[in-house]
Amino acid sequence: MYKIIEAKEMVPNIYWMIVEAPRVAKKCLPGQFLIVRTDEKSERIPLTICDYDREKGTVTIVFQTIGVSTTQMAKLKTGDSFHDVVGPLGRPSELIDTPIDELKKKNILFVAGGVGTAPVYPQVKWLCEKGIMADAIVGSKTKDLLIMEEEMSKVSNLYVTTDDGSYGRSGMVTKVIEDLVAEGKKYDLCVAIGPMIMMKFVAKLTKELGIPTIVSMNPIMVDGTGMCGACRVTVGDEVKFACVDGPEFDGHLINFDEAMKRQQLYKTEEGKKMLELTEGDAHHGGCGNCD
């Protein structure tokens, strides 16, 4: 059992948990993920590691309730435990293997959308600890859904934008990229993590601007071990699996349209399960798709 040291709702439907997992904390690096199960019969949920403390033996996860399993996870409180925590899994950020002297010569831009702020944070924090302050754009639909502003502001040059203009700058993250470049900013690398549609258009823009771009395909992971095939993605002329070959890939080579179509294939079954959870005995198959 893996004890939850702290659990809180950050903003509506987005939760923060610090979990006691000494072996994971000892080995994990920015960019990697873990798999949790609430009990022995529950679904395996892959989640990017948001933060870790090797001395305390803890890892931090941030997740959004989007289906049955994450809704059940959100009910866990401080002092409760996960049945399983497995990791670290996946390949670390390529920044980890780049010589520090080389990194210090680069101007790096991070772009985070929504819950994508959580996997961006350990990377900018790691760079900050090495004496490198990267620029970071954090986008949210509205002020009420913005997460980790304080944490990000301590480890990066932060630019906040909201789609509705309720806080920070106004507009999509791509608009902020365009503005920063227009202001004279030059970037050697962009790392974008967030919703698939956001990463698609960030990669499209940075390709036009000539900025090499890395994206994380963690949104399409299901099993986390490469066996289910759900996270299959075409990168250039090659087929890769996000959970074992990634989750980070060259954003200019990803076939985003194909990946988003694959993502849609799993929503019908998840929808059925969510109705069963919320309606209980009252669920009678009124959607026409249930047995």
User: The CATH number of the domain where 207 resides is what?
Assistant: 3.40.50.80
The pLDDT, as a whole number, for residue 168 is 87
The pLDDT, as a whole number, for residue 220 is 62
Q: Which of 165, 189, 216 is where one domain is finished?
A: 216
Number of Cβ within a 10 Å radius of residue 121: 28
49 and 111 together in one domain: no
52 and 109 together in one domain: no
Residue 160 falls inside a structural domain: yes
The pLDDT, as a whole number, for residue 271 is 54
50 and 15 together in one domain: yes
Q: Kindly state the helix (H) or strand (E) to which residue 263 belongs, with its residue range.
A: helix 256-264
What is the distance between the alpha carbons of residues 200 and 180, in angstroms, rounded to a whole number? 19
Domain that holds residue 205: 94-216
What is the distance between the alpha carbons of residues 155 and 87, in angstroms, rounded to a whole number? 25
Category of 90 on φ-ψ map: left (φ > 0), alpha (ψ -120 to 50) or beta: left
Residue 156 falls inside a structural domain: yes
Tokens of residue 269, six digits: 């079954």
First to last CA, the chain: 36
Residue 6 falls inside a structural domain: yes
How many domains does the structure of the chain reveal? 2
Residue 265 falls inside a structural domain: no
Q: Which of 167, 189, 216 is where one domain is finished?
A: 216
Tokens of residue 220, six digits: 């399409």
pTM, rounded to two decimals: 0.84
Q: pLDDT in tens for each of the 291 residues of the chain?
A: 899 999 999 999 999 999 999 999 999 999 998 999 898 888 888 888 999 999 999 999 999 888 888 888 999 999 999 999 988 988 889 899 899 999 999 999 999 998 899 999 999 999 999 999 999 999 999 999 999 999 999 999 999 999 999 998 989 999 999 999 999 999 999 999 998 899 999 999 999 999 999 998 876 666 556 666 667 788 888 888 777 777 888 889 988 888 877 767 655 555 555 545 554 554 444 444 444
DSSP β-ladder status, 81-82 and 14-20: unpaired
103 and 211 together in one domain: yes
User: The CATH number of the domain where 19 resides is what?
Assistant: 2.40.30.10
* Nearest to 85, CA basis, from 148, 125, 8, 27: 27
C-alpha angle with apex 10: 7 to 12, nearest 5 degrees? 115
Distances (CA, A) of 257 to 129, 133, 199: 37, 33, 11
DSSP β-ladder status, 108-113 and 189-193: parallel
82 and 98 together in one domain: no
* Nearest to 204, CA basis, from 243, 138, 252: 252
83 and 119 together in one domain: no
Residue 260 falls inside a structural domain: no
